[in-house]
């Protein structure tokens, strides 16, 4: 059977792009950069967390409780986008490390309230500050004005993703 070279039989479309996914439009360039940047940034920043004995999920739970106050498990489950089993395992681990405390909900017997322990502020806060300083080094070549503009842009995009 004779092989047919499909590439030579197809007529190229009139375009200035080298490939169908490459574009010169700034918005498209953002898409391309974020496809590469976001996963690389996440891997790198999470590796720094691990060096400090932290994990992204545990830190998100602690941060959520710190920012919004004591939370019930279903709120944490929804916020993290994980199963009830996963959030229970994470909270169990945090409780075993003395970072959170479980309390009975004052009005709902089925719910448990998760609170931060005193140990969190003593032991975890300095590690989080060190971590943020390490990650912030990535942005050290940006001026304060560029950082503020970047923050504003990311907040706007985040808001759109949140619905």
Residue spans per domain, the chain:
67-124
Average pLDDT value for the chain = 84
pLDDT tens digits, 53-64: 788 888 889 888
pLDDT tens digits, 78-132: 988 889 999 999 999 999 999 999 999 999 888 899 999 998 888 877 888 888 8
pLDDT tens digits, 24-52: 789 988 988 999 999 999 999 999 988 87
Which whole-number Å values give the CA distances from 117 to 100, 101, 103, in the listed order?
5, 6, 11
Cβ contact 108:75 at 8 Å: no
Q: Provide CATH code, domain 67-124.
A: 1.10.10.10
* Beta-carbon-side half-sphere exposure of residue 8 (alpha carbons within 13 Å): 3
Which whole-number Å values give the CA distances from 134 to 47, 62, 121, 144, 150, in the listed order?
11, 20, 19, 17, 18
Helix (H) or strand (E) holding 104: strand 100-104
Phi-psi map region of 69: left, alpha, beta (phi>0 left; psi -120 to 50 alpha): left
């Amino acid at each position: 059977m004779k092989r047919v070279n499909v590439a030579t039989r197809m007529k190229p479309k009139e375009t200035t792009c080298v490939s169908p996914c490459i574009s010169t439009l700034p918005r498209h360039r953002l898409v391309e950069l974020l496809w590469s940047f976001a996963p690389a940034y996440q891997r790198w920043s999470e590796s720094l967390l691990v060096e400090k004995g932290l994990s992204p999920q545990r830190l998100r739970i602690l941060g959520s409780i710190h920012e919004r106050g004591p939370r019930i498990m279903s709120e944490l489950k929804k916020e993290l986008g994980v199963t009830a089993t996963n959030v229970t395992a994470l909270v169990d681990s945090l409780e075993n490390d003395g970072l959170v405390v479980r309390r009975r909900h004052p009005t709902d017997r089925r719910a448990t309230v998760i609170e931060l322990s005193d140990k969190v502020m003593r032991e975890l806060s300095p590690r989080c500050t060190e971590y943020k300083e390490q990650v912030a080094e990535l942005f050290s070549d940006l001026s304060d004005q560029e950082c503020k503009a970047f923050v504003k842009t990311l907040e706007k995009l985040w808001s759109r993703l949140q619905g």
